[in-house]
Each structure stands twice: as C-alpha cells, then as structure tokens.
Structure 1
Amino acid sequence: MLSVRNGWFPRRSLGRSLGWRAPAAVGAGALPALAFPAPALWWFAYVALVPWMLLLRSAPTGRRAALEGWLGGAGFIVAVHHWLLPSLHVFLVLVAALLGLFWIPWALLVRELLGGRPAAGRAAAGLVLVPAGWLLSELARSWQGLGGPWGLLGASQWQVPPALRLASVGGVWLVSLLVVAVNCALVLLLAAPGARIPAVAGVTGCAVLTGAVWLWAERPEVSGRLRVAVVQPGPVADGPDSAERRFAAGERLTRTLAGQRPDLVVWGESSVGADLTARPDLARRLAALSAQTGAPLLVNVDARGADRPGIYKSSVLMGPQGPTGDRYDKMRLVPFGEYVPARAVLGWVTSVGRAAGEDRMRGGAPVVMDLPGGVRVGPLVCFESAFPDMSRRLTRDGASLLVAQSATSTFQDSWAPGQHASLAALRAAEDGRPMVHATLTGVSVVHGPSGERIGPALPTSASTAAVYEVPLATGSTLYVRFGDWAVGAALAALVAYCAVQGARSLRRPAPEPSSPPARTARG
C-alpha cells in the first residue's frame, strides 16, 4: 500500500482524503468550550481534547498537523468567546485566526510524541511535554494586549474542590496541566495499545498527585467573618440618563440594608457615571448611604476626571464623610472594549462593532484599602479578575478580602456572566482569600478562601441587595509564596526537549551527496 507519510500517495486522492479534516479540526477545537459556564460540564474537560488530539496524531505531515492545530485553536477561541460576536462581528474571526497560531507548537508535539506506535519512553515524554505545550499556548495568549487569560482550560474546574486545592499549590496553570495530561493518557489508551502502561501510569499519577495535594496542601485558617453586602441594580435601559437611573437603583437598594449591619457595601463596575469631584451632589448621596447603613461603600466611577484628563474606571471607597481617599484606577483594560490596540491601524473596527470610541486611561499601581476594624480590601475591576498575578499581588500586599467590580450587561443573555463569575472561585482558592464578585446585572457571587461558594449567587434576572457572611482567613498558600512555578517547570521541560532534539540533529551524520547518474551515449 502506498504511504501517505512518505509522500507516495497520489495528490488527487490525498486531497479527497483530507477534505474533511479541516472542518473536523475546527469542530474538535471548539469542544472544550462546553466545560465552561453556561453548560459547565466540568468533567467533559478531561475528554474534550481527545478528538482533536486523535486528529493531530494521525496528520500525514507536520505541516498538516500545524494547520489543524491552528484551525482547532481558532475554533476554541470562537467557541469560548462566541458572545463577543454582536460586538466584534467578523473581527472576532480575525482575532481567533491570530490567537489560533499559538496552538501550532502544541499540535506538532501531539503528532511527534503521540503519533504512530509510540514506545514507552516517547509516550511518557508525551504525557509531560504535550501538557506543557498546551500551557505554552495559554501563556502566550494571556498577555493583556491579546485579550488576557480568558478560557484557560484549568478554569473549567472552578467548582471541583480537589482542583481548587490544586490551584492553591500551582495556580490555574497546574490545573490546566493536569486536565491535558488526562486527555493525553486517554489518547494513548485508545490509539496506541503499546503505550498502555505509561498511559495508565499517567492517569494514576494524576490521581495520586491530586490526592496528595488534597491531604498535604495548606488550608486557610478562618480568622473571623465580615458581613459584605452586594448591590446588584439589574438591567437599565440605554439612554442619555441611564447612568442616573442606574445610580438611583443602587441607592434605593442600598437603603434596604439599613439595620442589617453590613461591614462593607459593594457596588458593581460603572455604578457611578460621573466624577465625584464634578458632582458633589452624588458624593453627598453616597456619604448619606454610608451613614445610613453604618458601613463604607465601595463604588466604581466610570467618568472623565474633573482634575485629570481622560476617562478612568476607578474603585472609590466612600465613608459617612465622603471619599476616604482610597482610590484604585483600573490598570488592565479590555482590548477593543475599553481601548483599541494600535488605533491608528485598527481604528476601523469601531465602524463594524461596539469597539471603544475613545481609549480609557490606565492606573499606575494596585491599591489595598483599609476598612474600619483592620480588614484590608484588594479591589479589581472587571476582567482583571482573570489575571492570577493581580490577585496574588494584592494578597502579598496584605489584602484579606478580594473584590472584583464587574459589568457584563452588554452580554446579559450569553455565557459571559457565568464565565466571568466562575473566575472568582479560582482566584479565591489560589490566594487563600475570600473574593466578592459584584456586578451591575449579574452574575454576582461570593467565594470563601478555599474557593467554596458562600450563599446563593445573584442571577442575571435579579435586582436586589444581599448580605453575605464572608469568612476571613490567615496564612499563605503555596501559590502566593511561589507564584507561577508550574509555568516555569513546563517551559523548562520544553526547553530541555528542544535542546535534546537539537543535540541529536547535530550528532546525526549528514547524508552523503549522491553522484549523478552516468550518461549513456545515444547513437
């Protein structure tokens, strides 16, 4: 039989045999999106990569594997971010095509290490290096300028206690490594019978690792409780006075908290639509609410500053006498939503979607705010809760409570609110600190210092104020102390593999030049 791998297959037959592979790669790459909210099929993450990896390991050439890795990566990006289509339209496909390139190295590793009939050594290497290659793709696209770490595979495990414990050791990155390793082992069990021993060993090793972490990893020690009220006004119709109506709704709901003795009241992102210096009447109304409830209010101002140029999104702590002086300006902005990268080149996207017409201004440094009684709050704004390093920095700076103020009303009826809210569980578990995720229109939720949910979540249909008994914790997790060591270990493994492969290619003798065929005389 003619060999495809050796290039002996007729070109026309080859085209027909590969015609189905491109759409299959896109579809297979999209499958892991089902593990995230809203479907939230967390268990599916452990098998979701298998169809894509089976396709890649059977690719006839490395070039074909690279193409199918790119297409599958683009399919994954579109599936996880499909709710952006009304805002970005066709530009989402272009972004997905760009980000999909980051899966090419992973696809080549899958074909090289899991393809054919891998011996035990190659299969064992695949169980380590293929997850490391996946993590490389996650790390590359996690740069804020490319959209940030949204849809990391490990984040699909936000409601699984053993996975949250694993996150406290190595962050969401370690959870991603575990999930991909299990998928690798299943691929070997299904397609490479000769590699069953390392495959079974890999699955067993993942289970043992998770169990060991469950028993050994430090658990946060509860050191008290804080009564935190979350105010969720609910949807407000767009219009010239929408900011005023949103403020009035938050004001009305906050008054219902009088007598419930909250220690802190949290409003969502963009809950105040005017600079408080320019609108002292709003500042007085907020101060009156603080006096009435007996608690400071953490609000979020989205407005052009009266004393500084540009528009900022700022977390501002208000007391009975007005602003306390604690203010945090959002540092990491949403690409296209809050600024347009390289606006001189890409400014045209504002004409085909809802991209920002004017770039927001960036804050300069994280801020930890002091509450009465010694509790310290670390605020984040909107999609900053997707960045593990930001909450870790706040924890190391002394925050005992993490707060994310968010607004996903643009994507109200999509998967976005649930996906965003789920990130609070990961950040809480990583840092051993409770986290409040407060939104304008839901989903608002509170998670304890082990990532466990505290009380009911406020769905997107709710317009209410709710008080949560939030457990505070002391101590430090391994992730807070050692940071992204799992990423460093994965990169080190990939570098070592590349070095070994490079050394082997240098030692391999060069092929001797073939002599040209002798010419024969023609008579």
Structure 2
Amino acid sequence: MIIHVFLLPALSAVLYWISSQAFSFPLAVWGCLVPLGIALFRTSPAKGFAAGWVYGFGFWLAAVWWIRIPLSTMVGLSAWTAWGWTLVFCALSALPYAVFGFLAGKFRLFERQAGVWFAAAALAVLRTWTPQVFPGSEAHNLYGWPVLLQALDLGGAPLLLFLVYLVNFQIVRALTARGSSGSPWPALAMIGLVFVLLTSYGTWRLESMDRERQAAGPKRRITVIAVQPNVPVSVTDPAVLPEDRTNDVRTALAMTREAFRRFPHADLAVWPEIPLLYSCGGEAARDLPPLAREAGRPLLVPCASPAGDAGRSYYNSVILIDPDGRAQEEYRKLLLVPFGEYLPLERELPFLRKFFPGVMPFVPGDRGVVTYAAGSAARLIPSLCYEAVFSDHTRRFVRQGGNVLVNMADDAWFGKSPASVIHLSLALFRSVEYRIPLVRVANSGVSVFVEPTGEILPGSPTPLFQKAVSAHTLYIPRKRSPYAVWGDAFLYGLTLLSVAGLAWLCLGRGFRQERRKNSCAGPAGGDR
C-alpha cells in the first residue's frame, strides 16, 4: 500500500521538481506523471484519492515553496508561521489531483485506451477550472522550448497541458497493457503522433514568423530600455550587494538618464515595480516630466495613487509620461496579489489584519483596460507583476488593440530563489498565445525580452540582485493568433467532452451493475 499511495506519487513529484527551473531538465515533464499513473492502475477510489493528493502536495511544494519568503519579508509572519501557511496552501491546492485520483480508481481509467484519453482531459479540466491563486502547471516547465510552445496560439495553456498529460498517461498505458487486455502499440503510436504534430506545427510557425520578421520594416519594431535599479526590500537583505543597499528612486532616475544617452534610438524606457510607495501625483509628477522632456522620449513607470478614502488604501498604478512631459491616462492594477497586496475578506473579518499585519493596503483598479501608444505601431499593455500570469486578463487588452506586453515586477520579495524565473515562464506563455512581444522589467531581475514566438532574445536576461540596464528591439506582428480570436474554445470543448465522458462512465457503470443484479436474481425471482 505504501508504494502505491506514497512512494510512486512522491517519485512523480520528484520528477516534476527535476523538470522545473530548480534543476532545468524540462523534458522530464513528459514522464513525471508516469509513476503516479502506475500507482493509479487498478487501485481503489480511496487509494487513488490519497495518491493523487500526495502527488499534488509534492508538486505544489516543489513549485512554490518560496512563497514562505514574502510571507515573512512582506506580510510580517514568523518563519515557522510562514512555512505553516505555505504547507496549508500546498495541501488545499492538491485537491484537484486528489479528485482525479479518485476518478481514476473508481472508473479504472488506465485499463483501456479510451480511459487514458478521459484521464488526460479530466485532469487538464480540473487543473484549469479550479480557482487558483497561482495558475502554474507542469506545462510551464517547457518555456525554454519554443518549438513545443507554438500550439499555445491555438488553444492556450490548456491545450499544451492536455498534451503533456496525454503523453504521460499513454506511457502508463504502454507499460501496463501487457498485463491487461490490449497492446502497448496504440499508446506508443499516439505518443509519437503527439510529438510529430507538436514539433511540425512548431517548426512551421517559427519559420513563418522568422520570414515575417525579416520582411517587416522598422515601423513594425520597437526598441525598449529596461531599467533594473535593484532597490532593496530591506537594507539587511544578504542577497543585496553592499553597494546597492542604498538604491532608491534616485538610482532609477540616474540610470534612466544615462540609458537615454547610451541608447539614443530607443523608443521608450520602462521601470519595474519597486518596494517603495512612489506617488503618481507627487514624486512621479515632480521627477518624471523633466526627464522625459530632456530625453524627448516617453517613460512607462509604476506608481501609487490614493483610493479616495483618506489615505487608508491605494491603487497600484502605471503612468506613461510622453516626450512633452505630459502624463497619459493612469492604469490601475486590476488583479491584486491576495495576502500580498490585499487581505481577502478584511472588511467582513477585520481581525485577520492581526494575523497578516504586513499585507499592503491596495484596492483593485476602477478604470478598466488602458493601453498606451508608443513608437510607430506599438500599443503597450501595462501589466503589473501578477497580472501577466492570467491569460484571460491579457486577452482583454489584446482585444482592445494592445500588441506589446510590458510586465513590470518586483521579485526581490522572493529572495534568491527560482521564483523570478517561474514568474517569467508563466508570463512568457502570453507571447505565444497572442503573438505579441513581451518586455519583462524586474526590480532585481530577471528582466528579459521575448519575441512573439516565445523565444528569449539572446543576451537580454539580466542577473538577479544586480543593477542593470538593457535595450533591445522586438518585432510586432500585424496579426494576432487564432487563440486571441477564439479564446478558450478548446478548453470549453474539452470540458464538455469530459462532462459527457463522466456521464457515460457513470451511466455505463450503473447499467452494468443493474445487469449483474438481474442476472444473479435469475429464475429465483420468478419462483417468488
């Protein structure tokens, strides 16, 4: 029992960890769920639930263990309390995997080919539709393999996640088919077909985009300066170099002024979020217009503005200062980080503030979608930190004409951990999904420039916890992707098929049980 309920699911979690940014063996994701699938083969519903939960807990612990760092540095919890809440988060987030394990055990999904397809669809649907604070998945570990990512422009992250699960479960089917009815060859053929389709489509899309890029004129390009001032969260943070412990807004201003001189042909400069309350109507209105007029180029800068309740709460905002020094419409962040930028249910349960004293007093924006004109053809999509990981949020801006995603983040709160690269991997999917370039500007790194194909520009990633300035040119395609038009049509279709499949399994099971009951009663029923 311990092998199937604990050891095999734990091995799957370890394989996921190996595929993650911590070890950088991403192709292991195509087999990380195989031990879990073997554990679920011919298991009971209860054991399946337990095995699924063990894997889910291990998956989330490997993926987001670092959230305990901001729970201490930002929220103000003790180290042990921060670890406790991290484990609670992992335990709750594991429930979709537990439900999947229950279904796999109840309906014996891995004993036939149709069940394998249903298993992949059901798990993708469960993972995608379950409300999530952090929408990461196994598929995001493939962010460094552009040829495998191009299918995102058809069905988004749910399509790639479904294919990852399908390959894993087909491997399980191939390994177990000899001991049950059937042959391993259909499963092996399906695995080969998935990779042929993925790589063929990916190669075609990459080559097509490269031809478009080479044929495009200068009006379809934008050159952006990314300013990484490395403003410390705490002057005692050991991750920060001694010479950077006094960095502040003046550091960013000086770096920007020098960058405009170094890169005279850049179209604009972008700042990241910084761990200081930089007022839109105060310091920003004082500091930025003279700099923009001096350079003759715009600045895109995060700032904070009061929410109109006597200074008790703020909007986390972005403003564009044009070359004439005029501030354009303020974008106010729509998606806030729970337990970081706001405290859920604080109005209903004000005592929660005693348990989470350092949660910031931000409120969601009230101005909706805002995009900014820049360069010849660019419409900038302002994206503050967390917002870039949600595809449906980005789609709203794309449908309003946005074609360059600018993600401004401050990952210094996470210390020296894989968090910044994980954050990047989630945001990078938006580039491929919508065929738009991504400029990611982070206070302490990793800042990076990403092509519409999801390819990271060579030389653009910056080091962690160092000051850096970089400028790169990105291509802006004229047309958006099918996914930008269709939205989550694939996910809706997969959901309908999963619901229909579950209904068929339930009805078929009930019919078989009723038939067995009638056959057992047989003639005896007539004698009575």
Q: Does the TM-score normalized on the shorter chain lie above 0.5?
A: yes
Q: Which amino acid aligns with 1:97?
A: A
**1:187 aligns to what?**
172
**2:385 aligns to what?**
382
Counterpart among 43, 54, 64 of residue 27 in structure 2: 43
Task: Tell me the distance in 2 between the aligned counterparts of 1:48 and 1:347.
Answer: 43
Q: Which amino acid aligns with 1:291?
A: R
Q: Which amino acid aligns with 2:85?
A: F
Report the CA distance between 1:514 and its aligned residue.
7.9
CA contact (8 A) 2:49 2:102 kept: yes
Task: Tell me the distance in 2 between the aligned counterparts of 1:362 and 1:276.
Answer: 14
CA contact (8 A) 2:12 2:36 kept: yes
Tell me the secondary structure at the aligned position of residue 366 of structure 1: coil
Q: Cα distance 1:502–1:364, how it changes in 2: closer, same or farther (>3 A)?
A: farther
Task: Tell me the distance in 2 between the aligned counterparts of 1:292 and 1:103.
Answer: 56
Mean Cα deviation higher: 440-449 or 355-364 = 355-364
Tell me the secondary structure at the aligned position of residue 442 of structure 1: coil
**1:6 aligns to what?**
none
Counterpart among 266, 270, 273 of residue 266 in structure 1: 270
**1:493 aligns to what?**
497
Task: Tell me the distance in 2 between the aligned counterparts of 1:273 and 1:360.
Answer: 14
Task: Tell me the distance in 2 between the aligned counterparts of 1:432 and 1:77.
Answer: 29
**2:291 aligns to what?**
289
Q: Which amino acid aligns with 1:238?
A: S
Task: Tell me the distance in 2 between the aligned counterparts of 1:34 and 1:489.
Answer: 32
What are the Cα deviations for residues 464-520 of structure 1, in whole angstroms up to 9, with x where unaligned?
2111111121112121121122212221221121221233245342636989xxxxx
**1:476 aligns to what?**
480
**Equivalent residues, number:** 486
Q: Cα distance 1:272–1:289, how it changes in 2: closer, same or farther (>3 A)?
A: farther
What are the Cα deviations for residues 55-98 of structure 1, in whole angstroms up to 9, with x where unaligned?
22253x11111122122212211211100123232011112221
**2:141 aligns to what?**
156
Task: Tell me the distance in 2 between the aligned counterparts of 1:491 and 1:80.
Answer: 26
Structure 2 residue 13 is matched with structure 1 residue 29 = yes
Report the CA distance between 1:320 and its aligned residue.
4.0
Q: Which amino acid aligns with 1:376?
A: R
**2:96 aligns to what?**
102
Counterpart among 85, 94, 102 of residue 91 in structure 1: 85
Mean Cα deviation higher: 337-346 or 260-269 = 337-346
Task: Tell me the distance in 1 between the aligned counterparts of 2:402 and 2:467.
Answer: 29
Counterpart among 44, 60, 63 of residue 80 in structure 1: 63
Q: Cα distance 1:308–1:361, how it changes in 2: closer, same or farther (>3 A)?
A: farther
Task: Tell me the distance in 2 between the aligned counterparts of 1:415 and 1:178.
Answer: 25
Task: Tell me the distance in 2 between the aligned counterparts of 1:94 and 1:23.
Answer: 21
**2:74 aligns to what?**
none
Q: Which amino acid aligns with 1:296?
A: P
Report the CA distance between 1:164 and its aligned residue.
1.8
What are the Cα deviations for residues 315-367 of structure 1, in whole angstroms up to 9, with x where unaligned?
11112444432221111111211122223687777666676153533444121
Structure 2 residue 311 is matched with structure 1 residue 301 = no
Tell me the secondary structure at the aligned position of residue 360 of structure 1: coil
Task: Tell me the distance in 1 between the aligned counterparts of 2:10 and 2:310.
Answer: 47
CA RMSD of aligned residues (A): 2.9
CA contact (8 A) 2:118 2:498 kept: yes
Report the CA distance between 1:405 and its aligned residue.
0.6
CA contact (8 A) 1:350 1:357 kept: no
Task: Tell me the distance in 1 between the aligned counterparts of 2:229 and 2:352.
Answer: 31
Structure 1 unpaired stretches of 5+ = 1-16, 516-523
What are the Cα deviations for residues 395-445 of structure 1, in whole angstroms up to 9, with x where unaligned?
221112111111110112011011112233211111111010111110111
Identity of matched residues, %: 25
Structure 2 residue 121 is matched with structure 1 residue 132 = yes
Counterpart among 302, 310, 315 of residue 318 in structure 2: 315
CA contact (8 A) 2:232 2:275 kept: no
CA contact (8 A) 2:233 2:413 kept: no
Task: Tell me the distance in 2 between the aligned counterparts of 1:202 and 1:113.
Answer: 22
Task: Tell me the distance in 2 between the aligned counterparts of 1:20 and 1:129.
Answer: 21
Mean Cα deviation higher: 495-504 or 62-71 = 495-504
Q: Which amino acid aligns with 2:92?
A: L
Counterpart among 176, 185, 201 of residue 197 in structure 1: 185
What's the TM-score, normalizing by structure 2? 0.84
Mean Cα deviation higher: 314-323 or 459-468 = 314-323
Structure 2 residue 133 is matched with structure 1 residue 147 = yes
**1:434 aligns to what?**
437
Report the CA distance between 1:190 and its aligned residue.
2.0
Tell me the secondary structure at the aligned position of residue 341 of structure 1: coil
CA contact (8 A) 1:316 1:323 kept: no
**1:168 aligns to what?**
153
Tell me the secondary structure at the aligned position of residue 376 of structure 1: strand
Q: Which amino acid aligns with 2:120?
A: P
Task: Tell me the distance in 2 between the aligned counterparts of 1:33 and 1:414.
Answer: 14
Tell me the secondary structure at the aligned position of residue 474 of structure 1: coil
Task: Tell me the distance in 1 between the aligned counterparts of 2:462 and 2:28.
Answer: 26
Task: Tell me the distance in 2 between the aligned counterparts of 1:33 and 1:346.
Answer: 37
CA contact (8 A) 1:226 1:263 kept: yes
Tell me the secondary structure at the aligned position of residue 373 of structure 1: coil
Q: Which amino acid aligns with 2:192?
A: T
CA contact (8 A) 1:431 1:480 kept: yes
Tell me the secondary structure at the aligned position of residue 107 of structure 1: helix
Q: Cα distance 1:100–1:504, how it changes in 2: closer, same or farther (>3 A)?
A: same
Q: Which amino acid aligns with 1:299?
A: V
Counterpart among 338, 343, 356 of residue 341 in structure 2: 338
